[in-house]
Structure formats: structure tokens, C-alpha cells
Chains A and B, each alone.
Chain A
């Protein structure tokens, strides 16, 4: 821990998480891939920053995401035309580059509070005690009369949901089947004819 690059990454890259996820969802028709794409975008960003820290992280991040999608399109051969067009223009939509903060502070707090309230009752109690009242595993376990393992399980679940709320990510993945994604895409075409290899 304590890598200077890690601090930079959290301050200069992760702040764009919400915008990046939105960007990927808008341009990539397969919701199941979004998290993989996002992770890979971050990996490439981090690896690249090891040798050179980009002056402006946001456009660079979107550029990486765009290139990744273009790569996948080439490999996959079949993709929706509408997402293709955007990628081919090789421009990132203007609103994606807006320097404005994604969410006003009070909105984030509201989202957090709502997410907290939507947790199952036991899970919510555990999150409150550990995150808000700063109880240790032992203290929370004693307070609720359950095992430390149970506390850990609940907190992990609550943590995941709250972090999703912070990043404004409701998690679409899994809800849509591939077929639905194909239907969502307006047109499907074969992009490369020089290979017979079928994917999917």
C-alpha cells in the first residue's frame, strides 16, 4: 500500500468511474461485458501510468475504453451498427468530457442513505455498527449475538451495495440475456469477411 501511483489512481481516475461506466453502457450493446471492459480499461490505464502519467486522465481513460471496444468488435465480428458508428468516428461524445462533477454532494449522500435503507435488516444493522459506529468485528458480534463470520458476511454484502450506490451503478449485468442485447441492437452485421471463424 502507499504506492504514490495508487493515490493518483484513486484521485484522478476512479473519480471518473460513473462516467466511464455510463460511456461503456452507451456504446457497448452487451451488458454482461461491461464490468470486464471497465476493469480492463483500468488495468491498461494503470499499466500505462507506470511509465507515463497522462496530463489529462479523463480523455485518456475514455480513449482506452474506446480502443478496447474497437478491439473487441474486430475479434467478435458481429456487433450493432449504432455502437460501431460512434466508435468509428473516434470521438468521445462531448458530454463525456465535461469536467463537471458527476454528482452533487447531497445527491451522493441521498443515494447512500437510500442504499442503506434497502439493505436486508440484519445486513443494515451490521453496516451501521461497523461503518458508522466504528465497531470492530468482535463488538458487533457481541452486540447482535451472532458469530464474527456472520458479521463479516453481512458487511461484505452491504459494502458492495453501498459502493455501487456511491458510483451510481445499479448493476445491469446479469439481468439481460445475450439475446436481449442482440435485440436491443438495431442492426447486426458481419464486420470482417476475411475470417470464417465463428464467435458465439
Chain B
């Protein structure tokens, strides 16, 4: 059974999506349970897969038994084993937490929504698990197209336009990637990542390979919204329905970061990306720009959800910069931040879901008095905020530690200053939100007999997953040592020191 985990990961959600679609016509009540089972199986399989990788090392699974480079191979090592576990667990937790808000926001379309949701998770898991560069493109399109759909189901006046904008940019990004893969295919005649990496070294000087690399990177950057290619993201994520944004925001950008790291580490090899090209330094400066601009733009927002979207743009800069520092500490930080940022973004967006569910809004003025009305939700928000700021023992601190450590080792002080700057800006961002929910509306508390507003928390099905995620932020932080020593350390090739 466990030999089939790589296939189960993708096949079970894929078939379940069809089933949900059918159930949507016949019996709406069944949609949610099927989705839960499908993503539960995926989560179980991915964790099982991670454990197998930890015990046995790299796993190569040939779909249909066809040998590469002709057949599609799934290739699971420590890097994507970890990312798979994160993606599937995040998608699963968010699914459970979102049931209420999905049923409230579009009671008529639950079937369609769950179908798209599960299909998107299929796409994301597929992108991560596949060892085939072209197959990755196909799955990328599955994840993207479903993503456009999930976003377009949001606020009637804004979401379709935001989604269309995302569709244009996303399609361009995917096409760039495809074009790059095409170049690679022309020069190597292979689509299998490991195979390409084997054939490439003598071709490192080739202009075609260089073009392929640059085009692939630009495509991936577009999809991950690296500044200045970010303009599609804030509106798309803000106007999406709660359940979609808390799925897409934590996962889509992180999966694209994974693709970038996979291209650097496996397909083109670090030797080519860092040594032959000698563009790492400029790309880290690009990341610095992303961090600083993300932080500044976030400061200018007046609603919580949009503010968080700009925080994501800054976080993308963290990971791109860390990966391109070209040393072990930076790469460790980038990979660790994929895990941590997925969790903390999930936490923040789940908080937004809860607030929207109870308050019907996420503008700053809707947040007044929330600390008293929704103490548990806001408590989770505080933990998420601390993690995004980077306060120990939450996990955000430790990935930032590795990133700054990498910056110091590489002598890239600009990146270090940008990270510290962004931490400080995050303090301002999140405490501004907390201030509004804590102080306002002002009342005379000195008078002993004032009557506080009663508590009005989100339902337990939304609250419990949120609290689990918030607790997870601290736990993952405390287990950083184990995650790095047992997983991430093996995900980075020995050549990188």
C-alpha cells in the first residue's frame, strides 16, 4: 500500500473531485464528506510518504510502470516530501474550518466550490510530487485554472475582475515556464528532471540553456508574485471568498517557491545557477526590493485582508532572497520558511475567515472591540502576528534566523537590513490592527459598572482548527531543530555550504 502513496496523493483527490461534482447535482450534503475523505487520504499518504523518505531516502515512482524519460516519474525526496506534507495538511485543516463559511457565502454552489477546491489541491500536490518538467506545467495549469475559479466566486463586483487580471498574468507566467521547458527539451531531448540535470552540464555555456533558465524563472516569479510582478495578487486574494483565500494564500506562492528551488537544485543544479550565472547577488537585491516594497505597501492599507496580501509579497521576497543567497543557511531558511509561512499565512487568513463570518467585513473599522468579542480568534491572530513578526518561540523567528544568518555568511547586508526592516514594519502593521480591536470603541473604563459587549465567537468547527494551527506555529518553532536536522539538511545538496 505504502508503495502507492505517490500516486494516491494525486489520484484520490482527482477522482474525488469528479465524484463531488456529481454529488453536487444529486445530493449536496455528500460533497463535504467526500472532500474531507479525499483530502484526509491525501494528507495521510503525504505524511506516510514523508516518513518513508526519512527512513529510506529518495523514492522514485513510475506512473503506469513506464520508465523515464518516456514515462512520467514521481520523484520524492526530503524537499518535496516536506512540502507535500505541508500542502496536504494545510488544505485539509482549511477545508474543515471553511465548511461553515462556504455554506454561508454560496449555499447554491457548494458542489462546484468543493470540486474546484479538491481539484486545486490535486494540482498543487501534483506540482510538488512530480519529477517531470512538462507534467509540472500541466498540473500547474490545473491548480491555476481552479484557482481562478475559486477566486471569481468571491465578492460579486470585484472578484471576477481580479480573477481575470490574475488569469492574464498567471497564463503569461505559465506560458513562460512552458517555453523554458520547451527550450530545455530542444537541447536535452528529455523532460525528466533528473535526466535533464544529467544531460545539462556540458551544455552550461549554451545560450539556449541560459534562455531556458531565465524564462522559467520569470514564469515562476510571475506565479509567485515576486515584486514587481506582484500586481495581480492583492486584489485576487482580497476579493476571493474566505475559504478560497485561506487555501490559495498559504499554498500557491509557497508551491511556486518550491518549484523555483527545485529548478535551482535539481534541474539546473546549484553549480549552474549560483556559480556559472553569477546573477545571485542581483536577484537577492530584487528580493530586498520585494521585502521593502511589500512592507511599505502593506502600511498603506486600510483593511486587514489586503494588508495581509502585501505581507505575503514581502514574505515571497524572504524566500526568494534566502534561496538565492547561495549558501546552506540561506537555503535552509528559505525551505523552512515555506513550511512556516504556509502555516502562519493559513493562521492569519483563517482569522480573517472567522471575522468575516461573524462581523461581515474585514476593514479596519470593522475590527473595533473584537478582542473582547472574539478573544480566541484574536488570540490566534496574536500568535500568527508574532510568528510573522518573528518573535520566538513561534516558528517565524527561526526561519528568519536562518535567513539572516545566511545573509551574514554571504556578506549580503542589504538583505539582512531588509529582513529586520520588515520585522519592524510588521510590528507596526499588526499592533495597529490589535490596537483597533483592543481600544476602540473608547469607553470610560474607570467607571466600575460598565458593561462590556458579550462574547460572540465563531462556531467551534472554525475555532478549533484555528487554535490547532496557532498552537502548531509554536510547536513547529520548538521542533525547528528536528525539522532542520532530519529533513531540510538532506534536501540541500552537499555542494552548498
Same complex for A and B? Answer no
Tell me the A residues contacting B by CB distance below 8 Å.
none
Tell me the B residues contacting A by CB distance below 8 Å.
none
